[in-house]
Amino acid sequence: MTKAKSDFYRESGVDIDLAARLLKKMRSKFKKAKRPEMLAPIGGFGGLFKLDVKKYKSPVLVSSIDGVGTKILVSMMADQYKGIGFDIVNHCINDIAVQGAEPLYFLDYIGIGKLRSPLYEEVLSGIVEACANANCALLGGETAEMPGMYGEEFDLVGVITGVVEKDKLITGEKIRPGHIAVGISSNGLHTNGYSLARKVLFEKCEYTVKTELKELGESVGSALLKSHTSYLPAIKEAFRTKLQLHGIAHITGGGLYDNVPRILPRGAGVVFNLKTFPIPPIFSLIVESGNISKEEAYRVFNMGVGMVWFIPEKEADKAVKVCKKAGFNAAIIGEVVKGNKTVKVQ
């Protein structure tokens, strides 16, 4: 096959040959994120995945799409990119796992002004490892080099599809007053609230990603770049032990105030008591340095609560044990009361 030159395109800012070389360099790693249902390797116009319908009685496919937002700017400041690969995969996994779905396959999109190494390989390495950890196939992706559209910045988006039996869907419709809310700890900001965090820490406080702070026990960059936690192992353990898990909220942008109502049925509200639940130091630093109100803090950030489970009162202790067995810190943090999808944080 004749290989055509693309010198003028390269001079315009798009290096097709570099993209091809970097992709070829990554192909061996892609093998880590495969499932037997994949019918073709990465590189085709469309990814092929043959769902084994014999394994299910009434399969429901669950899909989600998301990005990592301005956390990318912090990764650029620190010149660290592998972590945001984990971020995009784990965020998407959590978004479908809250409905009980097992992740099947994932696709990524990178929009960038000028493709560069090792940024590209680091991002994809994180994506591959996160997919492999969840037994999720990396089915394909797209890298768009767009000079003029982006400067040094870039964007990272992920799309995921999972499957769940229809009768095992977790919808929240069974949540009733008297149910208990169990909170599962986050390790930091995950992928939300970075615009406010950057404004407070880098503009107002004039810290850098290398600034070491005693109250954090690490650098500002390290605290901000902790990868988004995947709660899939805890949800799998809940299914294995037949826990009566009636609702799950992934606490992302909007915090407890906006995410919990998404799964509450009519006639239900939640009162949270988080006085004894641990708040990671990075949140205290941001809130105190920025003089941010409690209400705004719990709407912008997860404030240490990455996921909330709703279960009948009799199952509360079992739910906490399930989470701890899966390796997560968890505690009872609230209860469901009568209300119109209202949330109160005490």
Q: Classify burial at 88, counting beta carbons within 10 Å of its beta carbon; exposed 0-12, middle 13-18, buried 19 or more.
A: buried
**Mean pLDDT confidence for 100-115:** 96
Q: Where in the chain is the domain with CATH 3.30.1330.10?
A: 7-168
Mean pLDDT rounded to a whole number for the chain: 94
Give pLDDT tens digits for 301-331: 999 999 999 999 999 999 999 999 999 999 9
The helix (H) or strand (E) run that includes residue 320 is helix 316-325
Q: What is the CATH superfamily name and number for domain 7-168?
A: PurM-like, N-terminal domain (3.30.1330.10)
CB neighbour list of residue 55: distance below 8 Å, 6 or more residues apart:
none
Across 234-264, b (16+ Cβ under 10 Å) vs e yields bbebbeeeebebbbbbbbbbbbbbbbbbebb
pLDDT value, residue 6: 66
Mean pLDDT confidence for 90-94:
98
> Can you tell me which residue has the tokens 């509200």?
269
* Conformation bin of residue 278: beta by default, left when phi > 0, alpha when psi is -120 to 50: beta
Question: How many other C-beta atoms are found inside a 10 Å radius of the C-beta of residue 113?
Answer: 17
Q: Tally Cβ neighbours within 10 Å of residue 64.
A: 21
144 burial via Cβ count (<10 Å: 0-12, 13-18, 19+): middle
> Residue 289 above 80 pLDDT?
yes
Least confident of 8-22, 37-51, 119-133: 8-22
Q: How confident is the model at residue 14 (pLDDT cuts 50, 70, 90)?
A: confident
CATH 3.90.650.10 domain span(s) along the chain: 180-345
- Span 335-346, mean pLDDT? 96
State mean pLDDT over 236-246: 97
Structure confidence by residue, pLDDT tens digits, 188-219: 999 999 999 999 999 999 999 999 999 999 99
- Non-local (6+) Cβ contacts of 154 within 8 A are 72, 110, 111, 112, 113, 119
Residue 291 has pLDDT above 80, yes or no: yes
Task: Report residue 4's pLDDT band, with 50, 70 and 90 as the boundaries.
Answer: low
Q: Over pLDDT 90: what percentage of the chain?
A: 87
Domain 180-345 class in CATH: alpha beta
Spatial contact of 145 and 14, defined as CB atoms under 8 Å apart: yes
pLDDT given for residue 42 in this prediction: 81
Q: Sign of the C-alpha dihedral, residues 85, 91, 93, 94?
A: positive
**Residue 333 and residue 340: Cα distance in Å, rounded?**
20
Contact 139, 49 (CB under 8 A): yes
Range 64-85 average pLDDT: 98
For a pLDDT cut of 70, what percent of the chain falls above it? Answer: 98
Q: What pTM was estimated for this model as a whole?
A: 0.93
Whether the predicted pLDDT of 1 surpasses 50: no
Per residue in 215-237, pLDDT tens?
A: 999 999 999 999 999 999 999 99
pLDDT for the residue 21: 85
Contact 190, 255 (CB under 8 A): no
Write down the pLDDT at residue 3: 58
The pLDDT of residue 5 is 64
Residue 307 CA to residue 305 CA, distance in Å, equals 6
Using alpha carbons, select from 172, 48, 33 the residue that is nearest to residue 103: 33
